[in-house]
Amino acid sequence: MIFTTTYWAQVVLSLILSATAAHASAYKRQATTCNGHAELCDRSFGNVTFVGAHDSYAVGTDNLAANQDYNVTQQLKDGIRMLQMQAHNQSGVIQLCHTSCDLYNGGTLQSYLGSVKTWMDANPNDVVSLLIVNSDDIPPAQYDTVFKAAGLDTMAYVPSNASIPATEWPTLGSLINSGKRLVAFLTTEADYSSVPYLIDEFTNIWETAFDVTDTTFDCNVNRTNGDFSTQMFLINHFLDELIAGFPAPDSQKANQTNAVSGVGSLGQQVQTCAAQYDRNPNFMLVDFYEYGGGSVFQVAATANGVTYDPTTPIASPGGSSSTGVTSSNANGASSSLRIARSQLGAFLGVLGGVMVGAWSVI
């Protein structure tokens, strides 16, 4: 066999190209801005305060089962970095419903995760957390199938152990540089040996009480599993009102609930918790996040020691309700039931007998 000059030229060229490719893949990108702030790149994930949207998929105006006015894309754009959701088993499909799929159906988990993926692809310097309330104890393998279909499994962070203390989480910079910047928590059924990126919530995070109807918002440990003193913690800072004896999100008080200071405000609960535990909460779940005109993000920025300085104004309080038009929900799926406050009595009458005692809008 005769090796021509052309042949050798090709060999040399391919060697150069593969060396270049190897160099490129070995090169780790170094993020200089993490979740909007240079200061956060070197900060452990377990030492950052994030604003979370409670029932992030439950979007709609004038619907008692809705906790948010804007869809997940707008939530992320405005600064929400933890997305909490309730997952239900609807004929074998994981569907995001509120308490029951008859009451509010926010579409499939897969379509929701698709929106998250699209946003994360367009925003490569942000770490986002998911908190999945596993209402029907669906096994992790089923979630894994949906994460894979949405292309999010490869973006999900795998901790070094099923449970890691708050102080041992990697920095936001290293999560971003490694491309593993989705942190997914599951309330029940997490199994590190089968799907290690679906992280058990309660051995890693403790929570304050939820569904409260008074503005005290104490910081007592309400749900945990293990040693709360080393775990991250989450405050449930959304206020309910009792309507005909049933708790429902109190949008009328949302401006004050989300405020920087004052009775029942988010700022006040953060101060209460910081005084009690000597550190700020890691996650703060709120309803109608845009009420307060960005106050929830201001509270987080203050806790993180950074400046809240949005480049564009966040969405206006109340969504499109001011126009008198009922919006369609986040995923374009129509919600199966839209009820005005004034219609609740009749609604409860319909539900009566079937669900009395079991129904609450949390």
Q: Which amino acid is at 195?
A: V
Size of the site for ligand NAG (CB under 6 A): 30
Tell me how far, at minimum, the Cβ of 354 lies from ligand NAG, in Å.
Answer: 19
280 binds ligand NAG (CB under 6 A): yes
Q: Which amino acid is at 247?
A: P
188 binds ligand NAG (CB under 6 A): no
Tell me how far, at minimum, the Cβ of 27 lies from ligand NAG, in Å.
Answer: 31
What is the token pair recorded at 246? 């049933």
Helices (H) and strands (E) in the chain, counts: 9, 12
Which residues make Cβ contacts (< 8 Å) with residue 6, sequence separation at least 6? none
Distance CA 349, CA 202 (A): 36
- Catalytically active residues are 54, 98
Q: Are 107 and 160 in contact (CB under 8 A)?
A: no
49 binds ligand NAG (CB under 6 A): yes
Q: Which of 314, 269, 313, 323 is nearest to 288 (CA)?
A: 314
Distance CA 296, CA 282 (A): 13
Q: Of 278 and 309, which CB lies nearer to ligand NAG in the complex structure?
A: 278
| Of 14, 154, 252, 343, the one binding ligand NAG by CB under 6 A | 252
Q: Of 138 and 299, which CB lies nearer to ligand NAG in the complex structure?
A: 138
61 binds ligand NAG (CB under 6 A): no
Helix (H) / strand (E) containing 190: none
224 binds ligand NAG (CB under 6 A): no
Q: Give the per-residue contact string, 122-151, with ligand NAG (x = CB under 6 A; - = no).
A: --------------x-x-------------
Helix (H) / strand (E) containing 271: helix 266-277
Residues that bind ligand NAG (CB under 6 A): 47-49, 70-71, 73-74, 89, 91-92, 115, 136, 138, 161-163, 203, 209, 212, 222, 252, 255, 279-280, 282, 291, 293, 317, 330, 332
